[in-house]
Structure 1
Amino acid sequence: MIILAILATLAGIAGLCWLLFNLAVFALPLFAGIAVGSWAHATGAGIPGAVIVGAIGAAVTFGLFQLLLLAARPAWIKLVVILAFVAPAAIAGYHATLGIVKLTIPSDTWQLVFSIVGAAAVGVTAFMRLTMMAPPGPAGQGAARAS
Structure 2
Amino acid sequence: MVIFAPFILLSALGLFCWLIFVVAVYALPFYVGLNAFFGGLHTGAGYPGAILIGIVAGAATQAAGQMAFAMVPIVWFRMALGLL
TM-score (norm 2): 0.69
SS in 2 for 1:66: helix
| Root-mean-square deviation (Å) | 1.6
Following the alignment from structure 2 to structure 1, what is the Cα–Cα distance between the partners of residues 80 and 38? 28
Partner of 1:59: 59
SS in 2 for 1:80: helix
Match of 1:76, as an amino acid? Answer: W
Partner of 1:69: 69
Aligned length in residues: 64
Shift of 1:26: 0.5
* Higher Cα radius of gyration: 1
Following the alignment from structure 2 to structure 1, what is the Cα–Cα distance between the partners of residues 38 and 69? 28
Following the alignment from structure 2 to structure 1, what is the Cα–Cα distance between the partners of residues 56 and 27? 15
Q: Does 1:35 align with 2:26?
A: no
Q: Which runs of 4+ in 1 moved over 6 A?
A: none
Shift of 1:53: 0.6
Following the alignment from structure 2 to structure 1, what is the Cα–Cα distance between the partners of residues 57 and 39? 11
Following the alignment from structure 1 to structure 2, what is the Cα–Cα distance between the partners of residues 38 and 76? 36
Over the matched positions of the two proteins, sequence identity in percent amounts to: 28
Per-residue CA shift, 1:6-49, capped at 9, x if unaligned? Answer: xxxxxxxxxxxxxxx48613001000000111111111111111
Q: Does 1:83 align with 2:71?
A: no
Match of 2:55, as an amino acid? Answer: A
Structure 2 runs not aligned, ≥5 long: 1-18
SS in 2 for 1:68: helix
Structure 1 runs not aligned, ≥5 long: 1-20, 85-147
SS in 2 for 1:81: helix
